[in-house]
Amino acid sequence: MTTGVLPAGVAPAEIGVIGGSGFYAFLDDVVEVRVDTPYGAPSDALFLGEVAGRRVAFLPRHGRDHSIPPHRINYRANLWALRAVGVTQVLAPCATGGLRAELGPGTLVVPDQLIDRTSGRTQTFFDGLPLADGSVPPVVHTTFADPYCADGRAVAIAGARASGWEPVDGGTLVVIEGPRFSTRAESKWYSAQGWSIVGMTGHPEAVLARELGLCCTAIALVTDLDAGVEAGEGVTHAEVMEVFAANVGRLRTLLFDVVAALPKTRTCSCGTAEVERPA
Ligand SMILES: [Zn+2]
C-alpha cells in the first residue's frame, strides 16, 4: 500500500500515533506527507520520523490547529492514510473523563473495552456503497469482541509502569458523539454500568483499524472527573486542556518508550482476522 504515496527517499512507517486534544506534535525531525484517500482527506498531513530506530507516522486527530471536532473527523481517511504509508500498529492517545472517583485527573488508563454511544458516524469501510473507481466493497461483519491489541496493551502498561506512571490495566471507554460533554444523568448512567472513562474519539477509530488489519492500542489520560462523579459545575474544555498540558510531556515520553518496545514482527491476531480487506 505504500507505492506512490511516499515521496522518493522517504522510508515507510510501521507505527502510527494519532494525537488527540492537546497533543499536536510528537516528533522533532519529520517529513510531512499529504495522503489522499478514497474516503477524502485525513485530519492533516502525516508527519513521518523515527523513534529508537522505529519508523513512526504521527497524525494530529483534530488537525494541528484543533479545527476538526470529534464528530467531523474523517476517521476512515485517517486510518486508511496511516496504512497507506506502511503503518501496521496504531497507538491512540486520547483525553478522557473519569467515570469513577478513583480515576481522577492525571490517571492513565489502558482500556480493554469500549461502548459506542456515538450516532451518525460512518464506522466501516464495508458500507456497501461504490467507491470512486466503481468497485463496491463486500458485506463484512468484523470480529470485534476485544477491540484493542493485546500485545500493544501489554507494552503500553509495562512502559507506563517502568516510567513510574502506575496505569489502570483495562476498563471500558464510553465514546460519546460530542462535541458537548455529558449531562449529569448520562454520566451517572455510564458510571452505574461500571464503565471507566468517557471520550469522544475512540469510536470508530478502533474498529476501522481492525477492518484494515491494524493493531490499535488506546492510551487514555484522564483530564477531569465527569459530571456525574463530581459535584461542581461539570467539565469545561479549559480544564481538560490544562490537565493535558501538564501531562503532555510525560505522555510523549511514554509513547516514545512504547514505540520502541512494540514488537517488530506481530504475533497478535489483529492482522489475521478473517475479513476481506479493502484493497
Ligand atoms: Zn495487534
Which distant-in-sequence residues (6+ apart) come within 8 Å of 36 by Cβ?
none
pLDDT of 35 strictly over 80: yes
Give, in degrees to the nearest 5, the angle at Cα 260 between 207 and 8.
Answer: 80
In this structure, of 9-18, 215-224, 238-247, the range with the lowest mean pLDDT score is: 238-247
What's the gap in Å between 113 CA and the centre of ligand 1?
Answer: 15
Stretch 142-154: mean pLDDT? 96
61 is in an annotated binding site: yes
Quick: pLDDT tens for 64-98.
988 999 999 999 999 999 999 999 999 999 999 99
What's the gap in Å between 255 CA and the centre of ligand 1?
Answer: 16
224 is in an annotated binding site: yes
Please give the pLDDT value at position 2.
47
What's the gap in Å between 193 CA and the centre of ligand 1?
Answer: 28
265 is in an annotated binding site: no
The model scores a pTM over 0.85: yes
269 is in an annotated binding site: no
CATH of 15-261, one of 3.20.20.210, 3.30.70.980, 3.40.50.1580, 3.10.310.10: 3.40.50.1580
| Other C-beta atoms lying within 10 Å of the C-beta of residue 254 | 23
3-state secondary structure 234-279: CCCHHHHHHHHHHHHHHHHHHHHHHHHHCCCCCCCCCCCCCCCCCC
pLDDT of 275 strictly over 80: no
Please give the pLDDT value at position 113.
98
C-alpha cell at 183: 449531562
pLDDT of 221 strictly over 90: yes
pLDDT of 198 strictly over 60: yes
Stretch 113-117: mean pLDDT? 98
Please give the pLDDT value at position 228.
79
Please give the pLDDT value at position 155.
98
Quick: pLDDT tens for 241-264.
888 888 888 999 999 999 999 999
| Other C-beta atoms lying within 10 Å of the C-beta of residue 257 | 18
Stretch (H or E) spanning 176: strand 172-176
What's the gap in Å between 221 CA and the centre of ligand 1?
Answer: 21
Please give the pLDDT value at position 274.
56
Please give the pLDDT value at position 10.
93
* Domain edges within the chain: 15-261
62 to 54, 130, 136, 200, 237: CA distances (angstroms)? 24, 27, 29, 11, 14
Q: Which residues are catalytic?
A: 224, 226
